[in-house]
Structure 1
């Protein structure tokens, strides 16, 4: 394929920080790969899309999200399932083009973004996935952004919550860990997952328990139970400090209805009993006078 380049000068009007658009993709193979001198966030809103890059082609489905950085050569093509009618389900993407300099400035202010999304050290667009609930929230936020002035403030109000919600490599995980493990570690912070213990974590991976255990030991030096119990105790610690909920209720909320077992795990992880931990930290809170 030949290469063409899109310019920010031709894309953004004066003072515009972003341009949000939706497009139905042509099902013909794009005649050119292209690059651009600005960042672009693209997600598949409907149907199937084929991404073309120098590395080859990859099919994307509804909910897949692309983070495209300057000079990353790419092209997008609409796809229809085999046997589908010519007027069948269209391939629709949403594109958020971002003025040069904005992404660099955000990264400079937030070091936690290093290695994530636009800040990943890759020569190809970074790809992540949003499930149906997350995609609905993303589309709703995009509608709000579409009605907003095209200034940096409103762009960042859209971007930052979205970036915070992305899967991140947990601390202590070695490089090269599979995406499914990173995604499962992110999901495991949800009480609905960690309440079910190691079984809930394994279910979130979609893999067999022995395979998950071997992979976790290799890249994290932990078992699924070790990881989940750490998340449970971190959650319990926040509840003990920030609420007046009774211990049995907090234990049950962690998925540990056996109070004796909860006490032992908390003491092992925090070095204090739950009651001592609560008293020490709540005593240090400054209570306003009424």
Structure 2
């Protein structure tokens, strides 16, 4: 595959289009060559198996795999077997750059990952269903930047993000678990639920956690619980017992002790000080 074709936005987009969404059944024949483009593209496997060809590399993708292709990244796709279907979202030049300029937290993620090859991540069955529902809504909307961003931002915020301070080289399974553990549905299950999410033996998870984060599973999960508790204390009128229960710590004594260790204040004192300072600032 030495031939590299170049696609341009002028060939793909009408003058008033910010994006183009296409569903495609893939040919199983090996592509004649790679291609590059001067616009961004996101595609995901909706059904079957797909082979992603890159410069000197190839990678097989399955249902739920999501690919972020930046300009000037040579690639081609090929169906593997029957009923290989992908959804492709082509995005007019400048749109992704503008989003990245407004949201520096996106650095290193998705289109902003850098590197010579496209970034690949995975959506589970529930996430893929949500993605397809959102894509159907986008498909029926005007092809304006407003509707495109309304589609992209929820997706981007849901992608796995390595926590601050994570040492370089952490395995993908750990990054996924650390990101997922910010969800109350996960941290309510405690360290055991976190380890189950990792899909590895507890001793291996603990060693890997200490190596790349300096924390144990219990310490990381409790940090997520207390961050959630702090948000609830300042942003809701929920009772402290209800907040403790939502953290997966129904024992109030244990909840108070864990919160005090994290913030140096009791939950009630933390709530009272911050709610008053926000609504009625002290001069």
Quote the Cα distance in structure 2 between the aligned partners of 1:7 and 1:275: 59
Q: Distance in 2 between matches of 1:16 and 1:164?
A: 24
Residue 167 of structure 1, CA deviation? 0.8
Match of 1:197 in 2: 190
Partner of 1:84: none
Residue 117 of structure 2 aligns with which residue? 124
1:232, CA displacement in angstroms?
0.6
The separation in 2 between residues aligned to 1:256 and 1:124, in whole angstroms, is 44
Deviation at 1:212, TM superposition (A): 1.2
Match of 2:159 in 1: 166
CA distance in 1, matches of 2:212, 2:276: 39
- TM-score (structure 1 length as normaliser): 0.93
Cα distance in 1 between the residues matched to 2:238 and 2:24: 50
* Residue 275 (structure 2) pairs with residue 275 (structure 1): no
In the alignment, which residue of structure 1 is the partner of 2:14?
A: 13
**Aligned-pair CA distance for 1:249:** 2.3
Following TM superposition, by how much is the alpha carbon of 1:275 offset from its aligned partner in structure 2, in angstroms? 1.8
SS in 2 for 1:47: strand
Can you list the C-alpha shifts for 1:193-236, whole angstroms capped at 9, x where unaligned?
Answer: 11111111111111111111111111111111110000111111
Count of residue pairs brought into register by the alignment? 279
* Cα displacement (A) at 1:285: 4.4
CA distance in 2, matches of 1:20, 1:244: 43
Once residues 210 and 201 of structure 2 are traced to their aligned partners in structure 1, the CA distance between those partners, rounded to angstroms, is 14
Gaps of 5+ in 1: 81-88
Q: Which residue of 2 aligns with 1:58?
A: 59
CA distance in 1, matches of 2:259, 2:164: 21
Alignment pair present for 1:207 and 2:200: yes
Q: Which moved more, 1:242-251 or 1:128-137?
A: 242-251
**Structure 1 position 69 matched with structure 2 position 70:** yes
**Does 2:83 correspond to 1:90?**
yes
1:114 corresponds in structure 2 to: 107
Q: Deviations over 1:164-212 (max 9, x none)?
A: 1111111111222111111111110111111111111111111111111
Structure 1 outlier segments of 4+, above 3 Å: none
SS at match of 1:90: strand
Measure the CA separation in 1 of the matches of 2:42 and 2:49: 17
* Separation in structure 2 between the aligned mates of residue 256 and residue 105 of structure 1, nearest angstrom: 42
CA distance in structure 2 between the aligned counterparts of 1:276 and 1:7, rounded to whole angstroms: 59
**Separation (CA, whole Å) in 2 of partners of 1:137 and 1:256:** 30
